[in-house]
A and B are shown apart, each in its own frame.
Chain A
Amino acid sequence: AAGVIQSPRHLIKEKRETATLKCYPIPRHDTVYWYQQGPGQDPQFLISFYEKMQSDKGSIPDRFSAQQFSDYHSELNMSSLELGDSALYFCASSKQGATTDTQYFGPGTRLTVL
């Protein structure tokens, strides 16, 4: 079965640079979530989108922005990168309204800020 695809899998950036992370949800899934997992930490919710509209917002810094496109893929844009942004960024997708479906996670993008 198709899974959530994230690209790139690894990304190395310098401080103050920008980064763009991409997420391709499972086919027919209409909701995308972004989570950030710092070293040795639990995943923290950043932001979610349903049908291309932002549906919820968590602890996402103002330097970050995200959107969901017409093909349901999503991009997380991160500017003025800081050392503390080094983390594993997960995307998850789900089908809203499905009584038995749930969030399925991608493999993550490991961002290292030097």
Chain B
Amino acid sequence: AQSVTQLDSQVPVFEEAPVELRCNYSSSVSVYLFWYVQYPNQGLQLLLKYLSGSTLVKGINGFEAEFNKSQTSFHLRKPSVHISDTAEYFCAVSRSVSNYKLTFGKGTLLTVNP
């Protein structure tokens, strides 16, 4: 079984500051890793994913994440955030890319203040 731990339930930052949202996972098998973003009253949008290859993955809206197998982590980063980045961010794992359920973390609420 897989599990995901998002270490911070809330992260407040000021506009144009850098941010890191932390995610650790646990699995007995190889996993695929994802970050989804959920804006208020909206659905889940895929930010980025790690399937294989380079451990540094770039996604939409200037976000990137680094897969660290030894640390079992997949932290999300952005060098300079905007007010519009305010949203809930979910880290998720799956045993398969396309045909297996996603297991989500509890989410991190990123609040960007002016």
Contact = CB atoms under 8 A, between A and B. Distances in A.
B103 A45 contact: yes
* Interface residues on chain B, size class: 20 to 34
Given A100-B51, A102-B34, A48 B42 contact: no
Contact of A94 (B90, B99, B104): B99
Contacts of A56: 100-101
Interface in B55-114: 90, 94, 97-107
A111 to B, nearest CB: 14
Contacts of A43: 44, 90, 102, 104
A108 interface: yes
A25 interface: no
A39 B104 CA distance: 15
A105 B94 CA distance: 15
Nearest to A43: B104
A105 B104 CA distance: 14
A106 B43 contact: yes
Contacts of B49: 102
B99 A97 contact: yes
B26 interface: no
A96 B98 contact: yes
A107 B40 CA distance: 11
Nearest to A42: B104
A33 B98 CA distance: 11
B34 A33 contact: no
Contacts of A92: 44, 102
A58 interface: yes
Interface string A10-36: 000000000000000000000101010
Among B36, B51, B94, B100, residue most surrounded by chain A Cβ atoms (within 10 Å)? B100
Interface of A: 31, 33, 35, 41-45, 48, 50, 55-56, 58, 90, 92, 94-108
